[in-house]
C-alpha cells in the first residue's frame, strides 16, 4: 500500500469513520464541556507514542485526531459558547475545505487555477458590492483580518510615498503615522511593525464615552503630528469593534480623512456582513468614501478558520504594492495581455490555497436571505440577553449580538473563571473604553444558539441555581 495515498478500501474506512465522527460532533457537541481542561503534560503524554519510527494504522491515527479535537479544544460549535467571534463552521464551509484539500488548486496564478481564481473574484465582487466596494474596486482573500489590515497599510504606504517600494521607510523624509481608536484591533500594531514603521508609529486616539472613534480628537492628533514633522497617512474606523460591537461613524471619519488627506481604512472584520440586513445598513453610511475595507469570512459568515478579505477602492494598487520583477518562473502579471488576476503578484503570498471556496459554497447554499435571517436571529437573541440582565449594568450600545456587562464590585476574572469551570457556558472578559472598565462579554456567534441557551446563560449569571439548569 502506498502510504501517502492509501488504497481504496482504506480510504473507504476513513470516510466512514470521519463521517461518523463529524455527525456525532454535530449532534453531541452541546453535551461536551464548552471548555475542556486538558493540561500540556497530559497532551504530551498522548503524543509520545507518535515518534514516527513505526507506522500507525490510518484508522488509528484518524481516531486519535478526532479524540484529541473532541477533548482538548474550546468548542466554538457549542451552543453555550459566548466567546469572541469564532464560529460554528457552516457545513458547506467544511465541505469546501475538504474539496480544496483534495483537488488542491494552486492559487498563485490564474493559469494554474482559473476556476478557483474566478470563484474567488466572483465572490469578492458579490460581497464587496454589498459593502460599497463593488464595481471598479479590487480585492483579495487573505489568511485573516490581520493580513487584510496589513495589506491595506502596505497599499497606503505604496500609494502615498513614491519611494516606499524601492527604499522602504528609510527612504521617506520623516516618520509616517497611523491613527486608530483605543478600541481598535491590535492587528494595526503588528501591521506597523511588519511594515517597518514600528509600534510607535501607531497613535491611539481615546474613544468617546460611547466607545466610538472621536473624530475631533483624530483631527487634532493629525494636526499636532504634522506640526511636529510626522507624516500622517492612514486612519482606521472600525465597523463592529472586537470588544463591544460598536460601529464608528464613517461619515465623520471620512470628513477628517478627506480634510487631512489621509487614507481611510475600515476594519469591518466582524461587522461587515451586517451590511446585508436593511435595518442595519445605516451603520454603513459613508463607506463609499473609504479607501479600503477588511472583512473576515470566518466571523459573521461562519466559514471554518480562516478566511480574510480585503478590498481597495482603486484598481491596480494591489499589483503596485506586491509585484516583484524578475520572476521568470512565474506567468506574467495582470498588466499583460490576458488581464487576469494572479494572486502571487497581487498579495503577500506566492503559493496559496483555495480560501474562497468555503465562502462561495456557503453563500451559494444559504443565499443572502439565509444569512440575513441568521444575523437577525442572533440580534434578537442578544436583545433577549440584554432584557434579562436586570441586575447588571450594560456597558456597550450596539445593535449587533455582543453584550458587555458588569455589576458593582464584581471580580470579573474570578466570575468568568467560575462560569468556565462549570463547563456549561463560556463568556470572556475584557476592558472597555478609555478608562479600561473591566466587564464580562457575551457574544452570540453560534448560529445554533437559541432562546433556551440564552435563558441558561442568564441562570448561570444570576447564580441562583447551579450553572446550566434552566
Ligand atoms: C478579528 C478581528 C481582526 C483580526 O482578524 P484575524 O482574522 O483574527 O486576523 C481585526 N479587526 C477586528 C475588528 C476583528 O474583530
Q: Verify whether ligand 1 is closer than 6 Å to residue 308 (CB atom).
A: yes
- Sign (positive or negative) of CA dihedral 18, 22, 25, 27: negative
pLDDT of residue 318: 97
Range from 5-19, 110-124, 151-165, 327-341 carrying the lowest mean pLDDT: 327-341
Q: How remote is the CA of residue 255 from the centroid of ligand 1, in Å?
A: 25
Per-residue pLDDT of 291-313, as tens digits, reads 999 999 999 999 999 999 999 99
How sure is the predictor about 337, in pLDDT bands with cuts at 50, 70 and 90? very low
pLDDT in tens, 177-223: 999 999 999 999 999 999 999 999 999 999 999 999 999 999 999 99
What is the mean predicted confidence (pLDDT) over 228-238? 98
Instruction: Annotate 279-304 with b (16+ C-beta within 10 A) or e (fewer).
Output: ebeebbebbebbbbbbbbbbbbbbbb
Q: For residue 220, what pLDDT is reported?
A: 98
Mean pLDDT over all residues of the chain?
95
Banded pLDDT at 339 (limits 50, 70, 90): low
- Per-residue pLDDT, 335: 52
| pLDDT exceeds cutoff 70 at 225 | yes
For ligand 1, atom 4, which residue shows the shortest CA distance? 145
Grid coordinates representing 355 are 480560501
Q: Give the nearest ligand 1 atom to 242 CA.
A: 15
pLDDT tens per residue, range 71-121: 999 999 999 999 999 999 999 999 999 999 999 999 999 999 999 999 999
Four-CA torsion 176, 179, 185, 187, nearest 10 degrees:
0
Q: Calculate how far, in angstroms, residue 188's C-alpha sits from the geometric centre of ligand 1.
A: 10
Q: How many CA atoms lie within 13 A of 359 on its CB side?
A: 29
pLDDT at 375 over 70: yes
User: For the chain, first and last CA: distance in Å?
Assistant: 54
Residue 338 has pLDDT above 60, yes or no: no
Does residue 238 have its Cβ closer than 6 Å to ligand 1? yes
Q: Please tell me the distance between residue 19's alpha carbon and the centre of ligand 1 in angstroms.
A: 31
CB of residue 146 inside a 6 A radius of ligand 1: yes
Kindly state the greatest CA–CA separation across the chain: 73
- What residue's CA is closest to ligand 1, atom 8? 145
Asked whether 289 and 250 are in contact (CB, 8 A), the reply is yes
- Per 3-state DSSP, the chain is made up of helix, strand and coil in percentages (nearest 5) of 45, 15, 40
Report CA-CA distances (Å) from 453 to 237, 404, 425, 450: 33, 17, 9, 5
Count CB atoms within 10 A of the CB of residue 437: 14
Report which protein residue has its CA nearest ligand 1's atom 3.
145
For a ligand 1 pocket test, name from 141, 212, 269, 355 the mutation site with the most ligand atoms within 8 angstroms of its C-beta: 269
Percent of the chain scoring above 70 in pLDDT: 97
Q: How many angstroms is it from 299 CA to the middle of ligand 1?
A: 9
Amino acid at each position: 500500500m502506498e502510504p501517502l495515498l492509501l488504497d481504496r478500501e482504506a480510504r473507504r474506512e476513513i470516510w466512514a469513520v470521519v463521517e461518523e465522527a463529524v455527525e456525532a460532533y454535530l449532534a453531541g457537541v452541546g453535551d461536551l464541556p464548552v471548555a475542556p481542561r486538558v493540561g500540556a503534560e497530559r497532551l504530551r503524554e498522548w503524543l509520545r507514542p507518535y515518534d514516527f519510527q513505526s507506522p500507525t494504522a490510518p484508522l488509528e491515527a484518524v481516531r486519535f485526531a478526532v479524540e484529541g479535537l473532541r477533548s482538548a479544544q474550546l468548542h466554538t460549535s457549542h451552543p453555550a459558547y459566548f466567546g469572541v467571534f469564532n464560529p460554528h463552521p457552516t457545513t458547506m464551509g467544511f465541505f469546501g475545505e475538504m474539496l480544496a484539500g483534495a483537488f488542491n488548486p494552486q492559487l498563485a496564478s490564474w493559469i494554474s487555477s482559473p476556476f478557483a481564481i474566478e470563484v474567488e473574484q466572483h465572490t469578492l465582487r458579490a460581497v464587496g458590492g454589498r459593502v460599497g466596494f463593488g464595481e471598479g474596486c479590487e480585492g483579495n482573500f487573505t489568511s485573516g483580518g490581520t493580513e487584510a489590515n496589513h495589506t491595506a497599510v502596505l497599499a497606503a504606504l505604496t500609494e502615498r510615498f513614491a519611494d516606499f517600494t524601492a527604499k522602504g521607510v528609510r527612504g521617506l523624509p520623516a516618520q509616517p503615522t497611523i491613527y486608530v481608536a483605543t478600541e481598535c484591533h491590535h492587528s494595526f500594531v503588528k501591521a506597523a511593525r511588519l511594515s517597518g514603521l514600528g509600534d510607535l508609529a501607531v497613535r491611539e486616539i481615546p474613544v468617546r464615552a460611547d466607545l466610538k472613534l472621536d473624530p475631533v480628537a483624530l483631527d487634532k492628533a493629525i494636526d499636532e503630528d504634522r506640526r511636529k514633522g510626522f507624516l500622517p497617512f492612514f486612519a482606521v474606523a472600525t465597523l463592529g469593534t472586537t470588544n463591544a460591537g460598536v460601529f464608528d461613524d464613517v461619515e465623520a471619519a471620512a470628513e477628517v480623512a478627506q480634510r487631512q488627506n489621509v487614507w481611510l481604512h475600515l476594519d469591518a472584520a466582524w461587522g461587515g456582513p451586517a451590511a446585508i440586513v436593511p435595518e442595519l445598513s445605516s451603520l454603513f453610511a459613508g463607506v463609499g468614501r473609504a479607501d479600503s475595507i477588511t472583512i473576515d469570512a470566518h466571523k459573521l459568515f461562519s466559514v471554518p478558520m480562516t478566511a480574510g478579505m480585503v478590498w481597495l477602492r482603486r484598481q491596480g494598487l494591489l499589483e503596485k504594492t506586491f509585484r516583484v520583477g524578475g520572476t521568470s518562473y512565474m506567468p506574467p502579471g495582470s498588466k499583460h495581455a490576458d488581464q487576469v488576476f494572479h494572486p502571487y503578484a497581487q498579495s503577500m503570498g506566492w503559493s496559496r490555497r483555495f480560501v474562497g471556496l468555503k465562502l462561495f459554497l456557503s453563500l451559494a447554499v444559504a443565499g443572502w436571505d439565509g444569512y440575513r435571517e441568521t444575523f437577525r436571529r442572533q440580534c434578537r437573541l442578544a436583545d433577549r440577553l440584554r432584557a434579562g440582565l436586570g441586575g447588571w449594568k450594560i456597558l456597550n450600545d450596539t445593535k449587533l449580538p455582543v453584550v458587555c456587562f458588569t455589576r458593582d464590585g464584581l471580580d470579573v476574572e474570578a466570575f468568568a473563571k467560575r462560569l468556565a469551570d462549570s463547563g456549561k457556558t463560556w463568556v470572556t472578559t475584557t476592558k472597555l473604553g478609555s478608562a479600561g472598565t473591566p466587564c464580562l462579554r457575551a457574544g452570540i456567534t453560534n448560529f445554533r444558539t437559541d432562546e433556551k441557551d440564552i435563558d441558561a446563560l442568564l441562570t448561570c449569571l444570576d447564580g441562583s441555581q447551579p450553572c446550566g439548569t434552566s
